[in-house]
Amino acid sequence: MKKIIAIILVFLLIGWVIFKPKETFVPELADATIVRVAQGELTGFIAENGAHVWRGVPYAADTSGENRWRGPRPAPDWNGNREALKFAPVCPQIATSFTPIESFTNGELEGSEDCLAFDIYAPSDAKGKSLPVMVWIHGGSNVSGASQLYIGDKLAAHENVIVMSVQYRLGPLGWFSHPDLVASAESEEEKSANFGILDLIAALKWVQDNASVFGGDPDNVTIFGESAGGHNVVSLLASPLAEGLFHKAIIQSGSFDSVSVDEAQGLSGDQPNPSLQVAERLGGFDKFHTASLADVFAAYELDAGGFMDLPRIVEDGVVLPAIPLREVFASADNYSTVPTISGINRDEMKLFNLFDERLTETKMGQFIVARDQDIYDAASEYGSRNWRVRSVDAPLTMMRDGGHEDIYAYQFDWDEGGKFLWMDLSKMLGAAHGIEIPFVFNRFSILGDADKIMFKKKTFKTRDQLSRAMGAYWAAFARTGTPDVDGQPVWPRFGPEANVIHFDSENDAGIHLKKGAETADQLVSDFFEDPRVTEAYRCGIASFLNEWMLEPNMQLSSLNTEQKCV
């Protein structure tokens, strides 16, 4: 997992450091945006497309000092009018290209513990209305990321919804399980190990209290997030403390995994940076609330790629049930059975495999190509299908069999990235992890100037059509709980036939429906019979798939008695 995350960051380095975007628009205070939230008066600005925007709106107090590893406290009131033109500080993290903040230095500790805030986007005429509210939870492996990397003005204006992009505690400050914290907790909630999820719960409570002043309906809130953000959406579905705070959920390339308290603390398993070891390095409980931010992060060991890995999403029995997260969804009595979408991208693993030296090589020091395209495609296909099993078909089947009917599945298939010299992004990335985000937000700016390669002018018309359709589906779901869009293919419930809607452009297959669930057994059978996977590569790919766990406690070597890989 550590290597995989490092690969993500290298990929983003190409897009953001070499081709860092330049913002030319300068926001100015606009009287039309004046609102009064619980803490005081607030003024934002009008975006270039006419949407109303408020940046850096706090929903909770500074989490430093005595508030560190505690439940989030209410945001303090302010006097006068607060200017909401600037993004809030990013939550503390080791800076990488995944958070391309202009003042940040990669590899250095950046950010502030006073970071719990929203960026809010509304249509120009939203005031006085009751529009659907869509709360976006960013990804970044729950150790990095920032709300400002996801601009929601187009989605808000196009689809007549309120978009709120939220920040929450990350990494060491967001996930930490320690018996001394439980013993000193000032409330039952604070006995949790999932402080990042507590932040998101506090954020959703703030939405309940304040959405209406922006033109939003607090009784119609949808949470949606990608990658770690999707993982957090799953956690909120499972959390009894979040029940009733949202009404729909969208999981984009998420996860249903978790660790036990014993694993998080290092009493069992082999989790990196378990909390008991970290606490000893830090100097014990006396240092928990007095140590500097730098000292807290210094107590964590980084891997060879500079990535900080640690236990996240802990089965603490407080925020989350004290059983594996995946098992929560076996019964509709155990979680919030709101209408739910879960989906993946067809080529998720190409983002990670792109920098796997076993599969690729670099020409002229810049251009990454496959050593063998068939092997590269096969390794990516089975890893991506594995992701779909674990994050879409298996959990939705479990939900359906447990009595939850309002569930929907998708797969994103767009793979029309452009070519640049030796590098063909349609082959090397295709529909990779994260590529659906520009389509949902209708902002093809995920790679900065490199978007000129990924998103060629000749594909604009069909890209925009697909993007507007996806945004319409997401917004229709947020509005009614059913993703019905006039003039677009019907998106039925997952149901007994395991319906999955596929998103592709009209240059290819278009938006279309397929039936039938992906299963681990079928994946394994196909793998061992695939003519592309020669004996020279079979065991290596099998080992890689085993690292990602086809299903809990399942290994490829144990599933086929004739061709074992040990």
Name the pTM for this structure: 0.93
Q: Which two structure tokens, joined as six digits, stand for 411? A: 């797969």
pLDDT at 449: 60
For the segment 432-447, the average pLDDT, to the nearest whole number, is 90
Share of the chain above pLDDT 70, in %: 91
Place of tokens 């604009």: 460
Of the candidates 429, 375, 418, the residue with the CA atom closest to the CA atom of residue 540: 375
pLDDT category of residue 364 using cuts at 50, 70 and 90: confident
Q: What is the pLDDT of residues 341-358, one digit of tens each?
A: 999 999 999 988 888 888
- pLDDT at residue 15, rounded to an integer: 37
pLDDT at 560 over 60: no
In sequence order, what DSSP letters do the residues of 440-496 get, joined into one string?
A: HHT---TTGGGHHHHS-GGGHHHHHHHHHHHHHHHHHHHHHSS---TTS------TT
Q: Which three-class secondary structure state does DSSP give residue 543?
A: helix
pLDDT at 89 over 90: yes
The span from the CA of 541 to the CA of 538, in Å, is: 5
Which whole number is the average pLDDT over 21-41?
A: 89
Q: Please give the pLDDT value at position 14.
A: 37
pLDDT confidence of residue 94: 93
Query: What phi and psi, each to the nearest 5 degrees, are found at residue 217?
Result: -100, 110
Per residue in 160-218, pLDDT tens? Answer: 999 999 999 999 999 999 999 999 999 999 999 999 999 999 999 999 999 999 999 99
Query: How is residue 513 written in tokens?
Result: 């429906």
Q: Is the pLDDT of residue 16 over 50?
A: no
pLDDT at 60 over 50: yes
pLDDT the model gives residue 51? 98
pLDDT tier at 10, thresholds 50, 70, 90: very low
Band (pLDDT 50/70/90 cuts) for residue 549 is: low
Provide the pLDDT confidence category of residue 386 given band limits of 50, 70 and 90: very high
Lowest mean pLDDT among 88-102, 202-216, 495-509: 88-102
Q: What are phi and psi of 272, to 5 degrees?
A: -70, 145
Amino acid 63: pLDDT: 98
pLDDT of 553: 54
Q: Are the beta carbons of 119 and 86 closer than 8 angstroms? A: no
**What is the per-residue pLDDT for 543?**
77
| pLDDT band with cut points at 50, 70 and 90 for residue 18 | very low
Q: What is the helix (H) or strand (E) element at residue 22, kind and residue range?
A: none
pLDDT at 39: 98
What is the per-residue pLDDT across 97-146, written as a single tens digit (0 to 9) for each?
667 777 888 889 999 999 999 999 999 999 999 999 999 999 999 999 99
Give the least confident one: 94-98, 158-162, 475-479: 94-98
Check residue 318 and give its pLDDT.
97
Say if residues 165 and 153 touch (Cβ distance below 8 Å): no
pLDDT for residue 9: 40
Say yes or no to pLDDT of 7 above 70.
no
User: Which residues, other chains included, contact 376 with Cβ-Cβ below 8 Å and sequence gap of 6+?
Assistant: 353, 359, 360, 370, 428
Domain covering 2-515, topology:
Rossmann fold (3.40.50)
Read out DSSP for 402-426? TT---EEEEEE------EETTEEHH
Q: Is the predicted pLDDT of residue 566 greater than 60, yes or no?
A: no
- The residue-averaged pLDDT of 1-7 equals 43
pLDDT over 90, % of the chain:
79
Q: How far is CA 464 from CA 115, 134, 470, 471, in A?
A: 34, 21, 10, 10
Q: How many residues does the chain have?
A: 566
pLDDT of residue 48: 96
Mean pLDDT of the chain: 91
Q: Given a cut of 70, is residue 564 above it in pLDDT?
A: no
Mean pLDDT highest for which of 31-40, 375-384, 549-558?
Answer: 31-40
How much is the pLDDT for 401? Answer: 97
Listed by start position, the domains of the chain span: 2-515
